[in-house]
Amino acid sequence: MEQDTCQTLLNHLQTAVSLLELSADTPLRREVNLLANVVNRSSFRIAVFAPFNYGKSTLLNALLGERTLPIDLIPTTGAAIAVRYGSELRSRIVFQDGTTIDEAGTDILKQFAVLDGDRRMREDVVSVEVTCPHPFLQMGVELIDLPGTDDQDAQDALVREQLLTADLVVQVLDGRKLMTLGEREHLRDWLLDRGITTVIFVVNFLNLLEPEDQKQVYNRLRFVAESFRAKLPAGVSNLYRVDALPALRSRLQGDLAQAQATGLPMFETALQHVVHSLQGQPSETRLPRLQAIATQVQQALRDKMTAIAATAPTFDEKELQRVHIKRKAQGLIQQGFSKSIAELQTWLALPNLLDRYHAAATVALQQFEFANWVTLSLKPDWVLHQQAVVDWVYKACDFFGQARPADLWVMFPEEPTVVLPDVSPQTPKASSGDVAPVAIATGLGWVFGGPIGAAVLGGASYLINKSGGTEVGNPISADALSYQVEQLYRNAAQDYLKRFSTTAVSALQRYEAIATPIISCPIPDPPAQDSQQHYQIQLIQFALENLEQG
């Protein structure tokens, strides 16, 4: 998941840099391109850097156990030398014109990977690679020996770029001196400010000092190292002492005891621990670099947007204000309309109608006051909710200059009619073959035998069921008849409310479909005189939003 985050942020960075229209040699563009190669790299890269003659190459040779890199006679590395695993010791030089030199051993490095007589790097060399059959490299580790700093601008620029690509940075310190101002600035500008916090300091040349001086210098350097906010796995210090040249000599001679005294084994153990802990989660080291450079890109985007806006024609301020007011009003109208629709839908839900009106409707029906009840109770409540909905549509029509649609309207169902026969509960059942005519609405028809009644609503009829008490010689009781009559009225009232709910909900849905396009009508931006500049600003704003979210 974090790897996906790295890739997403990298994509946003590449898009943003393209909007900045930077030349290919601009540092910001070069660094984004470098990180593009880093995000999906499988190897774990360890870069070693320091000012000239601090023993970087000697330290790496001691780690590898042989004279792999140029030292002694020409202690001036003039290129970023990448040391990777290979079945044999070989060197490969790639030149600007595309030609390569690939030969066994490393003698060729003294010709193409060192500084010239003016202490300058060769401009015709693109890359220098050494393969070495060392077990540490076989773990997927890649060592980078960098040119010395604080001498030439070209070397410093190369070192800065290569540090950005490293998963772990080893900074070599000279124990014969405290950290210089330049070295302290590098800690801030080249490392911390660029999200590079996986850093280990190695003190060299302490063996050249008196024992008491060694202790004092090491304690002072420990204070500097601890003040650096390094992020390393638990149990790994960010300061180690390694006497590089004695360590190399002891390795070449196979003197393990002497090598132990130089501090090299302890440093090797720390490196292995770091690789083991961080190799499986590359985003731990790479995401902070992307985030740091994203901050720089964001500032560059803001500067470019300011420059474009300064030369672009401005919109009419009054027109902009009118658009702003319209959009704000539209949001309020949409909220109010949605709320009133929801309230009316809730009121029309059949369970809510029954809970609120069923009892009163039943009583009104029994007392022949149903029409008055509808007029004085149900209709006013409907009008109240209906008006709350259409008022928002009126506001939208008036504000946006649109024609008003037909109002939300519903036809109330026909009043139910309940007709009961004039038959006494004690009246015996008619003789066999006799028919009792019952006059009820909408042609209920003839019903055979016993006291019955009906509620008629449209084409629906509700009958009083004949009970067992209607058999001959066993007339229906008054209580049973009363209960059946009560249920008849309740069913009739319920059916009315159900029909009203269904009709009103359908009417509301039709009205909402008509009204929504009116209250959500598009409000265009005011026209700009230079649409290209406006489009550029929009693209930059979009890129900024992506970087802020990423």
pLDDT at 281: 87
pLDDT at 399: 87
Q: How far apart are CA 238 and CA 229, in angstroms?
A: 10
- Note the pLDDT tens digit of each residue in 406-465: 999 999 999 988 776 554 444 444 333 333 333 233 222 223 233 334 444 443 344 444
Residues whose CB is less than 8 angstroms from the CB of residue 476 and which lie 6 or more positions away in sequence, other chains included: 425, 450, 451, 467, 469, 470
Q: Which helix (H) or strand (E) holds 20?
A: helix 2-20
Cα 115 versus chain centre, distance: 48
Q: How far apart are CA 126 and CA 79, in angstroms?
A: 9
Helices (H) and strands (E) in the chain, counts: 18, 12
Q: How far apart are CA 130 and CA 345, in angstroms?
A: 77
Share of the chain above pLDDT 90, in %: 54
Q: Is 373 a residue whose pLDDT tops 80?
A: yes
> Considering only CA atoms, which of 149, 24, 11 is closest in space to residue 80?
149
Q: How far apart are CA 402 and CA 474, in angstroms?
A: 72
Q: What is the mean pLDDT of residues 237-262?
A: 93
- Strand ranges of the sheet holding 460-463, from the earlier edge strand across to the other edge: 417-419, 454-457, 460-463
- Note the pLDDT tens digit of each residue in 487-538: 889 999 999 999 999 999 999 999 999 999 999 998 887 665 556 777 788 8
Q: What is the mean pLDDT of residues 268-296?
A: 92
Whether 416 and 496 have beta carbons less than 8 Å apart is answered as yes
Highest mean pLDDT among 144-148, 371-375, 422-426: 371-375
- Note the pLDDT tens digit of each residue in 471-488: 334 455 777 878 888 888
pLDDT at 119: 67
Tell me the two tokens of residue 482. 């009363």
Residue found by looking up tokens 């139910």 in the block:
416
pLDDT at 389: 95
Instruction: Report the 10 Å Cβ neighbour count for 484.
Output: 19
Q: What is the mean pLDDT of residues 93-108?
A: 92
- Note the pLDDT tens digit of each residue in 45-64: 999 999 888 999 899 999 99
Residue found by looking up tokens 């780690």 in the block:
63
Model pTM? 0.60
Q: Is 284 a residue whose pLDDT tops 60?
A: yes
pLDDT at 200: 96
Q: Is 159 a residue whose pLDDT tops 60?
A: yes
- DSSP character for 181? H
Whether 486 and 447 have beta carbons less than 8 Å apart is answered as no
pLDDT at 71: 54
Residues whose CB is less than 8 angstroms from the CB of residue 429 and which lie 6 or more positions away in sequence, other chains included: 449, 450, 470, 471, 472, 475
Tell me the two tokens of residue 521. 């009508």
**Banded model confidence at residue 170, pLDDT cuts 50, 70, 90:** very high
- Note the pLDDT tens digit of each residue in 535-545: 788 899 999 98
Residues whose CB is less than 8 angstroms from the CB of residue 155 and which lie 6 or more positions away in sequence, other chains included: 121, 147, 148, 149
pLDDT at 150: 77
Share of the chain above pLDDT 70, in %: 84
Q: How far apart are CA 449 and CA 428, in angstroms?
A: 10
- Note the pLDDT tens digit of each residue in 304-350: 988 888 876 655 667 778 888 888 999 999 999 999 999 999 999 99
Out of 354-358, 391-395, 414-418, pick the least confident.
Answer: 414-418
If DSSP states are collapsed to H, E and C, what string results for 309-332?
Answer: HHHCCCCCHHHHHHHHHHHHHHHH
Largest CA distance in the chain: 138
Q: What is the mean pLDDT of residues 228-248?
A: 92
SS3 528: coil
If DSSP states are collapsed to H, E and C, what string results for 363-420?
Answer: HHHHCCCHHHHHHHHHHHHHHHHHHHHHHHHHHHHHHHCCCCCCCCCCCCCCCCEEEC
Measured N-to-C along each axis, helices 283-311 and 2-20 cross at an angle, to the nearest 10 degrees, of 30
DSSP string, 81-135: EEEEE-SS-EEEEEETTS-EEEEESSTTHHHHSB--TTS---TTEEEEEEEE--H
